[in-house]
Amino acid sequence: MDLEAMLDDVRELVECESPSGDLAAVARSAEVVARVGARRLGVEPERIVLDGRTHLRWRLGSEPSRMLVLGHHDTVWPLGSLATHPCTVEDGVLRGPGSFDMKVGLVMAFHALAGVDGVTLLVTGDEELGSPSSRSLIEDEARAAEAALVLEASADGGALKTERKGVSLYDVRAVGRAAHAGLEPEAGVNATVELAHQAIAVVALGRPGVGTTVTPTASRAGTTTNTVPAAGSFSVDVRVRTIEEQDRVDAAMRALCPVLPGAVLEVTGGPNRPPLEASASAALFDRASTLAVRLGLPAPTSASVGGASDGNFTAGVGTPTLDGLGAVGGGAHADDEHVLVDELPDRTALLTALVADLLAQPTNSVLTAGAARP
């Protein structure tokens, strides 16, 4: 693996800023990603523009595609971030906005997939927003694949992400009746008080013992300090490990009823990403572990994480999925975002071996056949 070439490619990607909310920036980034990818893969990608957002798809080789490799090129960093967070490599640490999450993962994919036959590489441009335009594209590609490998950054210590919580997002809105807070507060229906009742009910839906959290977050109510609030709302973030828990919470959220006489309640939203359950990644993780031993690498560890990725979508349609195969480092979305350079060659070698091993197996055998034993 040519580490210097990989670092050159990373710098080229990182130095083209790509905040998700800026369509022009995402389009410029897509062209840079396409250029770097075509240079390494020997073929141009298909450019797919959905709702103004640019996604890239490579069909590699002449054989029908059996595997999906997935990444994204958008970041959370606003334009101008390079001025304060330049792309640098010092003392074995690479820094730069979006380097860890997840432009290094894209470069790993370009180098690992050169010359393969029967793989689709999909690089989306709106993952950091929850993949509103690319979700259907991802799910359609996953349904046609025997396995999905996600190049999101690793968990702590380089752990592969074998379980991700599903996410649901809601907005709870209460409508009451305004009144003068000093003259006749009793004539009003206080939306803030109604929301307080509902927030307590919402929190009670959590089941920490099975990993379910239900958290009221941003809230809004009222107009002036001397008026009984006539309306207000709060947002709710739900994280679950199983689809059964996601369904349970969804039903309970939609069954919420007002407490105060005269109040009206409206609940909107719902499941955003299904969980990536441990069962979806178990066979692929075992395969990666065996291959690591064969390559003389440390056996990978696994992690269950609360954050979601596009791997939730691939697992949600029933495709075996292994996530966190990308960079080793830390600080995603933070000032100390960084990648450990010394980990790149081994990490890319493991990805290369995993792809080759999966393609060597008979069609539709990903879940049943084990990796080649050393």
Q: What is the mean pLDDT of the chain?
A: 95
Do the domain assignments include residue 370? no
Q: Which residues contact 338 (CB under 8 A, 6 or more apart)?
A: 93, 94, 95, 99, 100, 329, 330, 331
Q: Is the separation of the CB atoms in 67 and 120 below 8 Å?
A: yes
> What pLDDT shows up at residue 372?
36
Q: Are residues 269 and 279 in the same domain?
A: no
> What pLDDT shows up at residue 180?
97
What is the C-alpha separation between 115 and 105, in angstroms, rounded?
A: 18
What is the bridge-based pairing of β-strands 338-340 and 329-330? antiparallel
> What pLDDT shows up at residue 364?
74
- CATH at 254: 3.30.70.360
Q: Are residues 344 and 219 in the same domain?
A: no
> What pLDDT shows up at residue 113?
98
Q: Is the separation of the CB atoms in 147 and 366 below 8 Å?
A: yes
Q: Is the separation of the CB atoms in 364 and 319 below 8 Å?
A: no
Q: Are residues 153 and 40 in the same domain?
A: yes
Do the domain assignments include residue 121? yes
266, pLDDT greater than 90: yes
Domain boundary among 250, 273, 296: 273
Domain boundary among 238, 273, 308: 273
369, pLDDT greater than 80: no
Share of the chain above pLDDT 90, in %: 95
Number of domains in the chain: 2
What is the C-alpha separation between 281 and 99, in angstroms, rounded?
A: 25
Q: Are residues 242 and 327 in the same domain?
A: no
374, pLDDT greater than 70: no
135-194 pLDDT, tens digit per residue, is 999 999 999 999 999 999 999 999 999 999 999 999 999 999 999 999 999 999 999 999
> What pLDDT shows up at residue 363?
78
SS3 305: strand
113-142 pLDDT, tens digit per residue, is 999 999 999 999 999 999 999 999 999 999
211-262 pLDDT, tens digit per residue, is 999 999 999 999 999 999 999 999 999 999 999 999 999 999 999 999 999 9
Do the domain assignments include residue 279? yes
CA distances from 325 to 41, 296, 312, 329, 332 (A): 19, 17, 15, 12, 15
Q: Are residues 28 and 67 in the same domain?
A: yes
Q: What is the spatial order of strands in the sheet that 147-150 belongs to?
A: 46-50, 53-60, 119-124, 67-72, 147-150, 321-322
> What pLDDT shows up at residue 370?
37
Q: Tell whether pTM > 0.85.
A: yes
Q: Are residues 101 and 202 in the same domain?
A: no
What is the C-alpha separation between 326 and 85, in angstroms, rounded?
A: 21
pLDDT (mean) for 14-30: 97
371, pLDDT greater than 80: no
Q: Are residues 53 and 156 in the same domain?
A: yes
* Burial class, 300, CB count within 10 angstroms (exposed 0-12 / middle 13-18 / buried 19+): buried
Domain boundary among 273, 296, 314: 273
- CATH at 39: 3.40.630.10
Do the domain assignments include residue 372? no
Do the domain assignments include residue 91? yes
What is the C-alpha separation between 104 and 93, in angstroms, rounded?
A: 12
Q: Are residues 67 and 210 in the same domain?
A: no
Q: Are residues 285 and 138 in the same domain?
A: yes
Do the domain assignments include residue 365? no
> What pLDDT shows up at residue 373?
31
Strand partners, 215: 237
Q: Are residues 114 and 256 in the same domain?
A: no
Residue 70: its H or E element:
strand 67-72
Share of the chain above pLDDT 70, in %: 97
* Burial class, 4, CB count within 10 angstroms (exposed 0-12 / middle 13-18 / buried 19+): exposed
Q: Are residues 91 and 133 in the same domain?
A: yes
Do the domain assignments include residue 371? no
58-87 pLDDT, tens digit per residue, is 999 999 999 999 999 999 999 999 999 999
* Structural domain for 30, as ranges: 3-164+275-360
Q: Are residues 88 and 103 in the same domain?
A: yes
Do the domain assignments include residue 367? no
What is the residue type of 316?
A: G
Residue 50 pLDDT class (50, 70, 90 cuts): very high
* Burial class, 130, CB count within 10 angstroms (exposed 0-12 / middle 13-18 / buried 19+): middle
